[in-house]
Amino acid sequence: MPFRTLSACLLLCLSLNAQASAPSASAGDMARWDRELAAKTAAKHLAQAEIIEAEARRLPQEQRHVFLMNAAALLNMRIDHWRSEHIKGGRTPSPAFVAKTLSHAILRLSTFAQSMGFEEAAICHLNEGQRLERMADGYHVEPANCRLAAYPGIQALARDLQSKGQTEALETLSIRWSYEIIGMSMDLARMAGY
């Protein structure tokens, strides 16, 4: 048996033995540990997102706007995919958790849009995020329906950039950013008790 495999087996046996002999943790301890873990992973996701945001800020303005539009769409797609996978697995997430997660993500998008000088997008996403927060708190709220006004002409610009082969890097950047932001947002929602 290779040394690594033997070491891994030994560590597993020791940890199982320690768990068996350790006193069981209370529900309060488990909740505290879960919040601490969520805080640590949220910080890691945020640190990665900030690196990606710095990359996006170095793009030409038209590409930054396309990046932002892609990122907004990806946040919705990612949370919908996550939710449908949980439902398929028999674990339906609470609507409050989903709304709180998406509110954190969209509010971060608003802040990012503002930092890049896209005021219309920032205002739109702020409005969306605030509405999602109210939904997470149990209120019935109508959607903001402001994205078309926030990104005028950007879809045509995106098609133009795509025809020139200039969107692959933007898409990759948007995908990476949305992954980190949804991860951070889920952790923040857990920390808030949703």
Number of Cβ atoms within 10 Å of the Cβ of 49: 21
pTM, full prediction: 0.79
Tally the domains of the chain: 1
Give the pLDDT confidence of 32-74 residue by residue, as tens digits. 887 888 899 999 999 999 999 999 999 998 889 889 989 998 9
Is there a domain that residue 23 lies in?
A: no
Is there a domain that residue 71 lies in?
A: yes
Is there a domain that residue 158 lies in?
A: yes
Is there a domain that residue 102 lies in?
A: yes
Is there a domain that residue 165 lies in?
A: yes
| Alpha carbon separation from 162 to 149, 158, 167 (Å, rounded) | 22, 6, 5
Number of Cβ atoms within 10 Å of the Cβ of 110: 22
- Average pLDDT value for the chain: 84
5 vs 143, residue with greater confidence: 143
pLDDT given for residue 25 in this prediction: 66
How far apart (Å, rounded) are the C-alpha atoms in residues 182 and 193?
17
Is there a domain that residue 82 lies in?
A: yes
Q: Which residues of 161-177 are buried (b: 16+ CB within 10 A; e: fewer)?
A: beeeeebeebeebbbbb
Is there a domain that residue 173 lies in?
A: yes
Is there a domain that residue 1 lies in?
A: no
